[in-house]
Amino acid sequence: MRIAFALLLVGSVVVATRGETQTLNVRPAPLADLRPGRQARHGEVVLGQTTLAGAQRMFAEHLWSDSVKVPRGHAGNPAQWPAGAVWLAGDHEVRIRHHLDLGPELYGLYFDENERLIGASTSRLPGGLTWKVLSSHYTSFRKGRRWNGGDQPRFDSWSTQLSDCVTLVANVLVAGLRVESLSYYYTCPTSPAGSKTTSSR
């Protein structure tokens, strides 16, 4: 069942001021995911600050839900990534070390070596988000690499910097121009998880 998008932000796009802390709702709403501030409400995380342990506490109900045959709080979740793994987010390199799977209806969360949240990604976009809608909302997207499936082009990677520390990346299918996945990345240095950088989580 396709759900029509409710455009929660009208008019020009509000882009975060330089260096502003960004809070993300883990339930995807692609045109209204982020809000400024570091005080996380229920169902929210703070990019660059929420810790892996804090996220596990906040979303314990999703990790140990009785509604799934194999609870997501098993020994392999969070999954540890190889030390040399590097992703590109626009012009930035992102080094992910842990992935926390909260289920298909929520963003997957990614953490760095300091166990701070540096990425949130989903391929389950409500309503089937199109490139036309996304690019008209965020007008500063830049085209990156084209990825192939076999010998045919599959999707293009587009990115836009929402603030000094946050980059949005969209993978857009070449056929049909539908957004296949949407990811937010925190690209500034983080502090060790033991450091007190926020009063939220």
Q: Where does residue 78 rank: exposed (0-12), middle (13-18), buried (19+ CB within 10 A)?
A: buried
State the pLDDT at residue 183: 95
The answer on pLDDT for 166 being more than 80 is: yes
Mean pLDDT value of segment 180-194:
92
CA dihedral 49, 52, 56, 58 (to 10 degrees): 0
More confident residue, 34 or 116: 116
Q: Which residues contact 61 (CB under 8 A, 6 or more apart)?
A: none
pLDDT for 180 = 93
